[in-house]
Amino acid sequence: MPTHPPQRRPRGRPRSTGDDYPDTRQRLLRCGLERLTEGGFAALTVDDVLKRTGLPKGSFYHQFESKEAFAAAALEAYADYFAAKLGRHFGNAGRPPLDRIRDFIDDAATSLARHAFRRGCLVGNLGQEASTLDDSLRLRLEAILCDWEGQLANCLADAVAAGQLPSGVDCRAFAHLFWIGWEGAILRMRLTRSPAPLQAFGNFFIASLTAPAIV
Report how far residue 115's alpha carbon sits from residue 86's, in angstroms, rounded to the nearest whole number: 20
In a domain, 20, yes or no: no
List pLDDT tens digits, range 145-164. Answer: 999 999 999 999 999 999 99
Task: Give the burial class of 57: count Cβ atoms within 10 A of its Cβ; 0-12 exposed, 13-18 middle, 19 or more buried.
Answer: exposed
Mean pLDDT to the nearest integer, 81-106: 97
Q: Please state, for a pLDDT cut of 70, what percent of the chain lies above it.
A: 88
In a domain, 39, yes or no: no
Domain count, the chain: 1
Which residues, including other chains, have CB under 8 Å from residue 83's CB and lie 6 or more apart? 147, 148, 151
CATH number of the domain encompassing residue 210: 1.10.357.10
What is the overall mean pLDDT for the chain? Answer: 88
In a domain, 49, yes or no: no
- Alpha carbon of residue 210 to chain centroid: 30
Is residue 206's pLDDT more than 90? yes
Helix axes 171-192, 135-161, angle to 10 degrees: 120
In a domain, 198, yes or no: yes
Report how far residue 71's alpha carbon sits from residue 20's, in angstroms, rounded to the nearest whole number: 19
Report how far residue 23's alpha carbon sits from residue 29's, in angstroms, rounded to the nearest whole number: 10
In a domain, 131, yes or no: yes
List pLDDT tens digits, range 2-30. Answer: 555 544 544 443 333 444 556 899 999 99
- Are 77 and 26 in contact by the 8 Å Cβ rule? The answer is no
Nearest to 127 by CA among 109, 146, 111: 146
List pLDDT tens digits, range 36-54. Answer: 999 888 888 999 999 999 9
In a domain, 186, yes or no: yes
| pLDDT in the model for residue 40 | 85
In a domain, 209, yes or no: yes
Q: Where are the alpha helices (DSSP H) in 3-90?
A: 22-39, 46-53, 57-63, 67-90
| pLDDT in the model for residue 152 | 98
Range of the domain at 110: 72-214
More confident position, 132 or 196: 196
| pLDDT in the model for residue 11 | 46
Which residues, including other chains, have CB under 8 Å from residue 143's CB and lie 6 or more apart? none
Is residue 213's pLDDT more than 70? no
Report how far residue 38's alpha carbon sits from residue 25's, in angstroms, rounded to the nearest whole number: 20
Burial 5-37 (b: 16+ CB within 10 A, else e): eeeeeeeeeeeeeeeeeeebbebbbebbbbbbb
| pLDDT in the model for residue 211 | 73
In a domain, 24, yes or no: no
